[in-house]
Structure 1
Amino acid sequence: MKRRKKRFVLPLCLLLLLSLCAPAYAAADAPFADIHGHWAECQMAWAQEAGILTGTSSTTLSPDDTATRAMAVTVLYRYAGSPAVEGTSGFADVPADAYYADSAAWAAQAGIAAGKTETAFCPNAPVSKEDFAVMLYRLCTARHGVPEVSPDALVNIEDAGNIHGYARDAVAWAVEDLVLVNKNLPLSRLLPQASLTRGDLAHLLRQYDCLVEGNPAQLYRFDPDEVEKIAVDLYQGEVTFLITEPAEIQRFVEKVNGFSYTGQHTPASAGKQFPYHVVLWFKDLELPKGLFMDSNRIGNFYSTSSPDQPYFTSE
């Protein structure tokens, strides 16, 4: 009976933590099927639903397409509420009837983005990681004043010397406050000149919206009908709790979808630093998705609940 009680207490307690996690999975019949299962699914859905990012077609958001400078200023302009613009951007390569004309004018006039030269904005050029960091940094400065940046923010970035001088403070701020890292590479490498994708744009903007502006961010959009089973491994006791009953899965997933996060810390290695491991198996995905956690966080996201709350019980 002791073990049976654990089986139900632990999953229910985990519901208090799973606000904090990695990419979500929406229903397979979602209007933009190409983001289903993508690492930036929730970020892209948030941007699209907020009117910040539009589809590349009626059924695609193209998260892996390269983002251009025109796209970058457009998402920021829409995020800012599409304020009225007087005059033009002043750039010869920004046609007055271009979809990004007002966005470029706003960005130039507000000091959010400069041209590549005095007369050229280069709207179709890819936007780099450091340049988008600069845009977000300037947006933050316009709203809240110049943010404080630790002099040690880039001390562990081995390619920090590749950051252009004009972008150094902005990138340091983004590393500290937006947890800017380089996907699929060691955390010590940033690749500041690397081109961003549309998924990257949505991700970084939502990091800004959450971690700077303080708006809670949802990271899970699971469809309970797509989840086949959920396993919870307790490393210290090497005990696995398995959820397979549809009603339990639905209750677990619905609670997860209702949580959000408002804080994040610098990524660290998983393993024993996170004594709990949750694995979700999906019916239409070949590989399961695993999450590491401890009593106050999952992965790199802090819980919005009280840190004194006893999430996990031994009874």
Structure 2
Amino acid sequence: MIKKSRFLRPILPFLCAAALFFTPVRAVETDVSFQDVPQDAWYASFVYYVQAQGLMSGTGAGTFSPNLPMTRGMLLTVLYRVAGSPLQDESGVGTLFSDVPLDAWYAPGIYWARSEGIASGYSEETFGPDDPITREQLVTMLWRYSGSPSAQIDSAFADEDAISLWADTAVSWASAEGLVSGTSGNRFEPIGLATRAQAAVILTNYDQQNPQEQPDPDPEPDPTPEVPEETLPPLLPNSYDSSAFVVENGFLTYQGGTPSYVGIDVSAHQKLIDWEKVAASGVDFVMIRAGYRGYTQGLIYQDDYFTYNINEALRVGLDVGIYFFSQATSVEEAREEALQTLEWIEDYDITYPVVFDWERVSQSNSRTKDTTGDMITACAREFCGIIADAGYTPMTYGSPSKVGKDLQLDQLSDFPFWLAHYTIDWCPTSFQYHYDMWQYSSSGMVDGIDVRVDLNICLRDW
């Protein structure tokens, strides 16, 4: 197993949501809605992200139970999924815990975690899968998952004497790394419990904030190295002034000398939109989903509300861009997607980019789950090249964690980039490379739209 080096950014009083930066991709399109997760709840976008990515699921029909304590079995199942749900031979599971039957939903994660040294049972016979997870247990499991890095045992918490000996190093490491801080009175509260909402925040950040560490390739002899045929241009750095991002009239704006425009992106998931109200709310532009390719059979569909949305958005005077939700697994499929998109938009005045939006779907029945980054990048180049040849502005879309993994920006520098990076309180993104548009929230509320909608800022003219 390759241990992960990506890890949590500083979290407020331990497990709180404020000031936590995270980096989700736009969640895989889903109609799931939890009746116990208010749209304006601080944890709402985190919950829908982990649900869409298959990391956490609901607890019943239409419920997520955000205030329910996270259990040991739940957490290890999530980490198991983050690790890619590695296959296990039943013969390699070892001695079974009496309270973890092999057919239990949490069994794969628990036995995998035991084999990797991430978690152990209370004894050789019992594990306690349904027991709420404590703060020191959570930190320890994450520390082990990260490779058990060394740390000086000096947590400096007022209640450090209450921290179990087996958790000392993990807590000290988490404190030194700025991953946790004390609650009132600088207390760690090691046996305090974490809720499912708090876990969703942590796991969203854990899954998205930092790229995975890749294994070092075995060295191969190369007696006659070849001169590279092409040297890729370096990526431009993020040169925006963080202090120039301000919130005005409910939207993020930029006052640093660069053009700044307010935008949203919509699809059938926003249902029927009152575009008169949207235009009056201060929105300048909209990115409309033209269509998508299914991730099981690979068929192409037009978005059910595309025609309505584009006609109405243009009627009320908004600038319009387009995105296609791609699941291409070959350059030929990317070409098919581009040509179909051009056919759909040929009669409309498109003044903003036409975007290639490829997002990995990890479900077991997904035809795209094993698509390589090289292929995704090749598909992006094919799609964008066709769009450019037709006279439109092409654009790619992705999050920091996907850059260099699924989307190799150094091979796509000819095209503008739309960054997806949600931050608490819309704090400036830490993304290090240049971007032209930034999708900074998935839980915006805009007059004329009855459900949550993605919010965007565009930092250039087209």
TM-score range normalised by the length of the shorter chain: 0.5 to 0.7
1:212, CA displacement in angstroms?
Answer: 5.1
2:282 maps to 1:248:
yes
Q: Which one scores higher on RCO, CA 8 angstroms, separation ≥ 6?
A: 1
Counterparts of 1:46 and 1:84, CA distance in 2: 24
SS in 2 for 1:81: coil
Query: Counterpart in 2 of 1:133?
Result: 139
Counterparts of 1:189 and 1:303, CA distance in 2: 32
1:95, CA displacement in angstroms?
Answer: 1.9
Residue correspondence of structure 1 range 230-245 to structure 2 within 5 A: 230=250
1:72, CA displacement in angstroms?
Answer: 1.5
Would the aligned equivalents of 2:22 and 2:204 in 1 still touch at CA under 8 Å?
no
Residue correspondence of structure 1 range 117-156 to structure 2 within 5 A: 117-141=123-147, 146-149=148-151, 154-155=155-156
Counterparts of 2:185 and 2:252, CA distance in 1: 27
Would the aligned equivalents of 2:34 and 2:64 in 1 still touch at CA under 8 Å?
yes
Query: Counterpart in 1 of 2:202?
Result: 204
Counterparts of 2:283 and 2:134, CA distance in 1: 41
Summarize the Cα distance change of 1:260–1:249 in structure 2 as closer, same or farther, 3 Å threshold.
Answer: farther
2:196 maps to 1:190:
no
SS in 2 for 1:170: helix
Greater share of strand residues, 1 or 2? 2
Summarize the Cα distance change of 1:253–1:180 in structure 2 as closer, same or farther, 3 Å threshold.
Answer: farther
**C-alpha deviations, 1:203-231, integer Å up to 9, x for none?**
2223333455469xxxxxxxxxxx99428
Would the aligned equivalents of 1:68 and 1:124 in 2 still touch at CA under 8 Å?
yes
**C-alpha deviations, 1:5-42, integer Å up to 9, x for none?**
xxxxxxxxxxxxx995899xx9xx86224222232222
Aligned identity (percent) is 31
Counterparts of 1:187 and 1:22, CA distance in 2: 31
Summarize the Cα distance change of 1:98–1:214 in structure 2 as closer, same or farther, 3 Å threshold.
Answer: closer
Summarize the Cα distance change of 1:197–1:39 in structure 2 as closer, same or farther, 3 Å threshold.
Answer: same
Would the aligned equivalents of 1:19 and 1:259 in 2 still touch at CA under 8 Å?
no
Would the aligned equivalents of 1:149 and 1:173 in 2 still touch at CA under 8 Å?
yes
Query: Counterpart in 2 of 1:55?
Result: 58
Would the aligned equivalents of 1:158 and 1:188 in 2 still touch at CA under 8 Å?
yes
**C-alpha deviations, 1:263-308, integer Å up to 9, x for none?**
xxxxxxxxxxxxxxxxxxxxxxxxxxx9496xxxx5xx745468xx
Letter paired with 1:132 = L
Query: Counterpart in 1 of 2:172?
Result: 172
The one of 92, 116, 119 aligned to 2:98: 92
**C-alpha deviations, 1:103-123, integer Å up to 9, x for none?**
221111111110012211011
**C-alpha deviations, 1:86-133, integer Å up to 9, x for none?**
344521111232111222211111111100122110111111111111
Summarize the Cα distance change of 1:253–1:132 in structure 2 as closer, same or farther, 3 Å threshold.
Answer: farther
**C-alpha deviations, 1:135-161, integer Å up to 9, x for none?**
1111111xxxx4353665x23x22222
Greater share of helix residues, 1 or 2? 1
SS in 2 for 1:248: coil
Counterparts of 2:70 and 2:143, CA distance in 1: 18
Summarize the Cα distance change of 1:100–1:232 in structure 2 as closer, same or farther, 3 Å threshold.
Answer: closer
Would the aligned equivalents of 1:107 and 1:113 in 2 still touch at CA under 8 Å?
yes
1:51, CA displacement in angstroms?
Answer: 0.9
Counterparts of 1:64 and 1:76, CA distance in 2: 20
2:37 maps to 1:37:
no
TM-score (norm 2): 0.41
Q: How many residues align?
A: 232
Rg larger in structure: 2
SS in 2 for 1:34: coil
1:252, CA displacement in angstroms?
Answer: 10
Would the aligned equivalents of 1:229 and 1:249 in 2 still touch at CA under 8 Å?
no
